[in-house]
Structure 1
């Protein structure tokens, strides 16, 4: 099954010897797409916590949906963790907008291997 996708490409200014572009999707199957910002602080484990921030992957607007997300935490105690997952379904606000809840555990990292819990809700 083919799903029509439209968007635009942006040439990155990376000095990487491999040529690359970023693709910004603007519609998916004829529907406009949107993304949400998210941020927070992990649980306090092994004597420290980490901050994180990112933006979800785009998803269609106006239909039931979730978003995938991926980011790295700040470097604290000489290491960082990876965060990734899928948000919960859209939760409507009274003004026509919506948000998503998310939570999970980071990857296991550190000189004393450990992980942190994280969670929160996306922005509008």
Structure 2
């Protein structure tokens, strides 16, 4: 089964060999697609005697079609260091009038004693994306 879509690709501007492109879909099966984002926040697990807070907004994704979101955030500065979190959410989980996504993973390794933290949570409900 083929579903016609339209959209555009944006080059990330990275100069290294592992650069990326973002695809923004603006129609799916002849219907306009609105883009949206989700807020997310939480605390990591306690490891090496401390934890970190994180908060951010997912990358945009189309509304009304099966989708996931990429996310990225830097944690709070605790115990003289930060960590990065990044990943891809799970699929949309319906809410009355909207949806949310699950996310989970491990931070990057950092600290005087190198370590990582686990994190997990749910995004907030979707918000309309405005460039």
Q: Common fold, TM-score beyond 0.5?
A: yes
* Structure 2 residue aligned with 1:101: 102
User: Aligned partners of 1:32 and 1:40: how far apart in 2?
Assistant: 27
* Residue deviations 1:50-90 (CA, integer Å, cap 9, x gap): 00000000000000100000010000000000000000000
Deviation at 1:27, TM superposition (A): 6.4
User: Aligned partners of 1:55 and 1:119: how far apart in 2?
Assistant: 15
- Which residue, 50, 64, 67 being the options, matches 1:65? 67
* Structure 2 residue aligned with 1:38: 40
TM-score normalised according to structure 2 size: 0.74
List aligned pairs for 1:1-124, cutoff 5 A.
3-5=6-8, 28-29=26-27, 30-93=32-95, 95-124=96-125
TM-score normalised according to structure 1 size: 0.78
* Structure 2 residue aligned with 1:14: none
Any unmatched runs of 5+ in structure 2?
9-23, 126-131
User: Aligned partners of 1:31 and 1:68: how far apart in 2?
Assistant: 18
Runs of 4+ displaced beyond 4 Å: none
Tell me the secondary structure at the aligned position of residue 4 of structure 1.
Answer: strand
Tell me the secondary structure at the aligned position of residue 34 of structure 2.
Answer: strand
What is the total number of aligned residue pairs between the two structures?
104
User: Aligned partners of 1:91 and 1:83: how far apart in 2?
Assistant: 22
CA RMSD of aligned residues (A): 2.0
Any unmatched runs of 5+ in structure 1?
6-25
